[in-house]
Structure 1
């Protein structure tokens, strides 16, 4: 499910060895990034070395391991995937809670954890209606839970909790809508994963080898338009192949799907970058060796999930 780097510009997510799960940005990060960048070196067409900013063999190995875990939860019993997304809810919530707590915000962990796990099962067994209903009930529970804390910080605390609710378990729930499709749910989920990974791979290598023109230097300095072009090409090709070979649909639906995923994945990367900059953290955790925290790896996948569900629902 994960790749050497998400998005279209080869962002540096190399984790630091710090005691806290949410790793704070500090003056020593630049030196550590430089050291990490020496681990694996590519070269541009002119021979200039390119620093990738991470231990790529380790990153690829851990990504493949997680991908294998996901694959064997999809086949032959797709209901097992609810356990994967439920674990993702709990791990990701832990990382987000630590990051918000560092800013003095008190997240409603108990109702979010219970509701977030329930939302995964609701989406798989009940569909979109049950996912929306469970989300609404969880949102109400979050607001009620915070009443005991009084007026001080109420808006900040509930805003953080509702952000987590919408950003993590709700968007993960759309993955369950994909796999719950009665005819070809497993293939739809695999299509989603492969197309999104193609965005990451195409954007990563196009960005570090050809990247010249910055896309959003204020938000993510390493994102380039050349990297975005690589994402578009990778997604369009993967989308066309997946739709034709696995979903028995026309190639043009795959191209539309690929274009939508390329845009969604890039936006997801930028959202995650801005989120971490605002909270003052470099990586959300150290869950995956060579990758950082789980939330660092889910950025593009979280935003792409509902986009894939919408496109496939409307066009297939």
Structure 2
């Protein structure tokens, strides 16, 4: 069917579109208020491609995934992670640095699509300092290195304003906007990732990391399975249309069972402690997924990237892990 001229003109005025996260619909990526955002030329001095990493619709079933590819990537990542954890623990920190570093670049590119400049260089350097240094320096080092990273990042934007214009206007225009986004990325994911070495540094550190990752993954697997088989009642139709309460119940069941078993047999804890940990994980993992969905909807993209077939970008896999990391570390610390 053809498109009548008024509708065609309205569609063109709305700006370019990317596949929507809801059901493959196109959503406009142009400014909602009608004011044109400046086209970002750089992301901290580097070329900033558009953040429509989703490209087109991903092949898959009801949950919108290429399931065979997702399983293959998941198994490969799991094998690499276990090998790093139990052969040379410090190698796992390298894996964390690479994954979180890619996530930071993905976030910067996504913000750049809206004309927001994230200061990538100082954030990447600070993230490496937080992840690697905290393994030996502990929580105090993590806090201090985060504060230092934040201060350097704020100064970086002031001393290296975007664009070719010079003077006070160039140095101050959009500073609060860019500095706020940069501070956000300093905390999420850079600061949160610094809790990984706090888990790993314990005598049973590899076991603790396995518990953290396995229980969080069970939230995804249980929710996916229950949602596909039984999902009818939408949890949040606007934010994440594919999430259902049935899927949440599946996540909760799998997390509680997995947590109880792993804490009991890997960490010599009590079944109730593991069950409590699993219940906390499912809440925070779900929040992480929903918050990532809100960010992507606000930026008008479907995925943060295309690095992992069947999964999207690095941040699309790190979202729930980042949100469960701190609660798991705190609970295991309290359990002793």
TM-score tier (shorter): 0.7 to 0.9
Which position in structure 2 is the counterpart of 1:290? Answer: 310
Q: Is the 8 A contact 1:124 1:179 kept in 2?
A: yes
- What do residues 109-134 of structure 1 show as CA deviations (whole Å, max 9, x unaligned)? 11111111111012211111111110
Q: 2:255 aligns with which of 235, 259, 278?
A: 235
Q: Determine the C-alpha separation between the residues in 2 that align with 1:93 and 1:312.
A: 27
Which position in structure 2 is the counterpart of 1:95? Answer: 106
- What do residues 163-185 of structure 1 show as CA deviations (whole Å, max 9, x unaligned)? 1111111111112211111x211
Point out where structure 1 has 5 or more consecutive residues left out of the alignment: 1-10, 41-50
Q: Is the 8 A contact 1:239 1:254 kept in 2?
A: yes
Q: Determine the C-alpha separation between the residues in 1 that align with 2:231 and 2:98.
A: 36
Q: Is the 8 A contact 2:63 2:224 kept in 1?
A: no
Q: Is the 8 A contact 2:50 2:109 kept in 1?
A: yes
1:108-147 equivalence runs, <5 A? 108-147=119-158
Which position in structure 1 is the counterpart of 2:198? Answer: 177
* TM-score, structure 2 normalization: 0.80
Which position in structure 1 is the counterpart of 2:6? Answer: none
Pair member with larger Rg: 2
Q: Determine the C-alpha separation between the residues in 2 that align with 1:12 and 1:291.
A: 16
Q: Is the 8 A contact 1:272 1:299 kept in 2?
A: yes
Q: 1:152 aligns with which of 155, 173, 198?
A: 173
Q: Is the 8 A contact 1:21 1:95 kept in 2?
A: no
Q: 1:86 aligns with which of 87, 97, 103?
A: 97
Instruction: Describe the SS at the equivalent of 2:173.
Output: coil
Which position in structure 2 is the counterpart of 1:209? Answer: 229
Q: Is the 8 A contact 1:237 1:255 kept in 2?
A: yes
* TM-score, structure 1 normalization: 0.85
- What do residues 190-222 of structure 1 show as CA deviations (whole Å, max 9, x unaligned)? 000110111111111111111111111121111
Q: Determine the C-alpha separation between the residues in 2 that align with 1:201 and 1:102.
A: 32
Q: Does 1:166 align with 2:187?
A: yes
1:1-316 equivalence runs, <5 A? 22-23=51-52, 29=56, 32-33=57-58, 36-37=59-60, 51-148=62-159, 149=161, 150-181=171-202, 183-316=203-336
Q: Offset of 1:315 from its aligned partner?
A: 1.9
Q: Is the 8 A contact 1:12 1:52 kept in 2?
A: no
Which position in structure 1 is the counterpart of 2:36? Answer: none
Q: Offset of 1:22 from its aligned partner?
A: 2.5
Q: Offset of 1:90 from its aligned partner?
A: 1.8
Number of aligned residue pairs: 283
Q: Offset of 1:93 from its aligned partner?
A: 1.4
Q: Is the 8 A contact 2:53 2:306 kept in 1?
A: no
Q: Determine the C-alpha separation between the residues in 1 that align with 2:131 and 2:293.
A: 26
Q: Determine the C-alpha separation between the residues in 2 that align with 1:59 and 1:201.
A: 11
Q: Determine the C-alpha separation between the residues in 2 that align with 1:213 and 1:205.
A: 15
Point out where structure 2 has 5 or more consecutive residues left out of the alignment: 1-20, 25-47, 162-170
Bigger RCO (CA 8 Å, 6+ sep): 1
Instruction: Describe the SS at the equivalent of 2:195.
Output: helix
Q: Offset of 1:76 from its aligned partner?
A: 2.1
Q: Determine the C-alpha separation between the residues in 1 that align with 2:260 and 2:53.
A: 41
